[in-house]
Chain A
Amino acid sequence: MRNFFDKPLKYKIQGTVKYIFLLLVSVISLYPFVWVLITSLKDNNDIYGNSFGLPRIFRWENYSEAWKSANAGRSFFNSLFVCMIALVILAVITSMGSYILTRVAKSKLLSTYFSLGLMIPIHALLIPSVLIFKYLKLTDNLFSLILVYTAVNISFSMFIMNGFLKSIPKEIDEAATIDGCGKARVFFQILLPIAKPGLATVATLAFLNCWNDLLLGLVVISTPAKRTLSVAISVLKGSYLTQYGLLCAGFAISIAPVVIMYLLFQKQVIAGMTAGAVKG
């Protein structure tokens, strides 16, 4: 089945049908992305009058204008800085915590406690967070944003990490412990490398969460120079009238790094594969 031409006709047909189906889904998946790119080159008249066609006039200047208006250079850096640091902290602390909860001291209570964060709508966190940062004298500080981004992603990261760690056979660390490894070493040198696909999945999704966050970035940060990219792009919306072409250009600018990030982590996923077996 893996090797198309070695297989009987039945499988060939099955394979072809599979590809046709996947291609169809791809077109549907790709379309909004293409739509954002096309729309980013239009003006409002073109967007409303010709919503799904190619631009009548290609407005490349939307990009330079969006870049300038959103102070994209600066806010891009802010976003990258905050998201990357939050991501590193998140990966380290959740995998450590997850290790304890799945292997060393299993606790249903703590697992449930950590899953509460999945359930709270982000809007409910806005005012309490601002008050906490005010108390900590960390108002309008990028460090606050790192902390809160880490915190809001803990629940789902631990949740997924738990799953990956649970699926690693116990015999592996038992064997290592017999070999005389301490628990910390078992974790860092043996389990973590095996759990790499899990970590990569978590990192991808958490990065996406942080990168696309608008509300926390909006309420925690005030100074324009400290803004994150999504907040800066959001300023492109007008009070009564939004130039959607400009806004979509902004979105396109902000999507690019996420896609790059995703491709990057995909490599990680592959590289971290345990069996090392070549597929196909």
Chain B
Amino acid sequence: MKNKINKLTLPVLFLAPVFLIYTTFLFVPMLQTSYYSLTQWNGVSEKVFIGLGNYKELLKNNDYWITFFNTLKLTAVSLIVQISFGLLLAYLLYTITRGMKIFRTVFFLPVVIAPVAIGLMFSLFYNSEIGIFNKILSAVGLDMIQTNWLSNPKTLLYAVMAPQVWQYIGLYVTIFLGALQSIPEDLIESAQIDGAGEVKTFFHVVLPQLSVFLNICIVLCVTGSLKAFDHSYIMTNGGPGVRSAYLGVFMYKTAFGNSDFGMGSAITITIILISLTITLLFNRFAASGSEN
């Protein structure tokens, strides 16, 4: 019996601080949000309980579905671009002899720059009156794809997506590089002694070792994309209409812009539910994959 108590003391003691802080300042707000989502609330008046009313209205709301699909597009693009470039760059850095530290710092630099500055830079860059993007295109002979990037309904969303997807590649480089460095050296060296080329080494030796971190980065990327806000809001206000808005932007505009905190909270809950679903599905998929 005493032994059992002793066995429990350590886990409880070790888990308690992180559990308490997390629950009080993150989980409780989340519960409050889910309660708000069932009410009609403008932020100050009495909350009127309306059950699933907000959710029903959301499902009928065209703008919600536009932002929903925008968000899915962003998630897909981020996953493809950020994870593959992050992995590629991290591996290249890992294999070079000189300058690794400098390159690593440089690749990380965009991550630290405020999205406001990046947003301004790209708005100026895309601007067809004063910007240089179209000029660059015509200089390299690509006149035919010149357009008003932010005012063309076809290019708008991707023009807003690009800076965000690009800005955070450095994040994944950092995580992957940290992971690569914790792989035992001899594993890779023995593979190379066996005559495996760099590409082969990467796919057969390095990648399996990274699977845990690949999972981490994929989940970070998905959850990050699903709550994306800054670039869209800064560059276009999520507009015109909601054409370049993601769920996060739509939530903010609903809750804080329209003072409709009930509906805003309902959007938040859907963001969490979508994230959770994707993450759990992915984990199950990854788990079954690793068993094979």
Residue A84, interface by CB 8 Å = no
In the assembly, what is the distance between CA of A121 and CA of B266, in Å? 12
How many residues on the B side are at the interface (Cβ–Cβ under 8 A)?
92
- Given A36-B113, A123-B255: A262 and B216 interface contact (C-beta under 8 Å): no
Q: Kindly list chain A residues whose C-beta atoms are within 8 Å of the C-beta of B181.
A: 197, 269, 273
Q: Which residues of A contact B (CB under 8 A)?
A: 1-4, 14-15, 18-19, 21-22, 25-26, 28-30, 32-33, 35-36, 39, 47-49, 51-52, 89, 92-94, 96-97, 99-101, 104-105, 110, 112-125, 127-129, 131-132, 147-148, 150-152, 154-156, 158-160, 163-164, 166-167, 183-184, 187, 197-198, 200-201, 204-205, 208, 212, 230, 244, 247-248, 251, 254-255, 258-259, 262-263, 266, 269, 273-275, 277, 279-280
User: Closest approach, in angstroms, between the C-beta of A88 and any C-beta of chain B?
Assistant: 12
Residue B103, interface by CB 8 Å = yes
In the assembly, what is the distance between CA of A204 and CA of B109, in Å? 12
- Given A115-B279, A124-B33, A273-B181: A132 and B25 interface contact (C-beta under 8 Å): yes
Residue B161, interface by CB 8 Å = no
Q: Kindly list chain B residues whose C-beta atoms are within 8 Å of the C-beta of A230.
A: 114
User: Closest approach, in angstroms, between the C-beta of A240 and any C-beta of chain B?
Assistant: 15
Q: From A248, which residue of chain B is reached at the shortest CB distance?
A: B117
Question: 16 A-B pairs, CB-CB below 8 angstroms?
Answer: A22-B103, A32-B109, A97-B15, A97-B18, A100-B14, A116-B272, A123-B264, A123-B268, A147-B25, A163-B213, A164-B182, A204-B174, A205-B171, A208-B111, A251-B116, A275-B184
Q: From A53, which residue of chain B is reached at the shortest CB distance?
A: B132
Residue B248, interface by CB 8 Å = yes
Q: Kindly list chain B residues whose C-beta atoms are within 8 Å of the C-beta of A273.
A: 181
A198 touches B178 (CB 8 A): yes
Q: From A197, which residue of chain B is reached at the shortest CB distance?
A: B178
B226 touches A251 (CB 8 A): no
Binds A, one of B53-61, B119-127, B145-153, B235-243: B119-127
User: Closest approach, in angstroms, between the C-beta of A68 and any C-beta of chain B?
Assistant: 20
B105 touches A200 (CB 8 A): no
Residue B10, interface by CB 8 Å = yes
Which single member of B24, B130, B171 contacts A132 (CB below 8 Å)? B24
